[in-house]
Amino acid sequence: MALFVAALLLGAGCARKGAVAPGGPSPDAAAVAEARVLYDRFHAAASPGAGFSAAASMNLETPSARRRVLLRLWGDAAGPVRLDLLAGVGVTAGLWREGPEGFTAFMPQAATAYRYPSGREGLAAFGLPSPFSLRELALALCGDFAQLFPSEYGRVRVVPGTGFEYSFPRKEGEWRLVLDAAGRPVSCAGGAGESAWRLEVPAWADGNAVAGPERLILEWQGGKASLYVREAGFRPDPWPERSLALDLPPGTRLVTVERHP
How many Cα atoms are found within 13 Å in the side-chain-facing hemisphere of 198?
A: 11
As a whole number of Å, the CA-based R_g of the chain is 19
Parallel, antiparallel or unpaired: strands 185-190 and 175-180: antiparallel
Return the pLDDT at 3: 53
Confidence of residue 1 (pLDDT cuts 50, 70, 90): very low
Q: Tens of pLDDT along 177-233? A: 999 998 999 999 998 888 899 999 998 877 655 568 999 999 999 899 999 999 999
39 three-state secondary structure: helix
Tell me the CATH number for domain 2-256. 2.50.20.10
Query: In which element (H, E) is residue 8 found?
Result: helix 2-11
Is the alpha carbon torsion for 101, 145, 212, 199 positive or negative?
negative
C-alpha distances (whole Å) from 242 to each of 84, 150, 235 are 15, 32, 17
Return the pLDDT at 6: 43
Return the pLDDT at 2: 47
For the chain, helix (H) and strand (E) counts, in that order, are: 4, 15
How many Cα atoms are found within 13 Å in the side-chain-facing hemisphere of 172?
A: 11
Q: Tens of pLDDT along 100-145? A: 999 999 999 999 999 999 999 999 998 888 899 999 999 999 999 9
Q: Tens of pLDDT along 139-150? A: 999 999 998 999
Return the percent helix, strand and coil in the chain, to nearest 5: 20, 45, 35
Return the pLDDT at 207: 61
Across 230-245, average pLDDT: 94
Domain boundaries, the chain: 2-256
Confidence of residue 53 (pLDDT cuts 50, 70, 90): very high
From 25-34, 56-65, 217-226, 247-256, the region with the lowest mean pLDDT: 25-34
Instruction: Check whether 12 has a pLDDT greater than 60.
Output: no
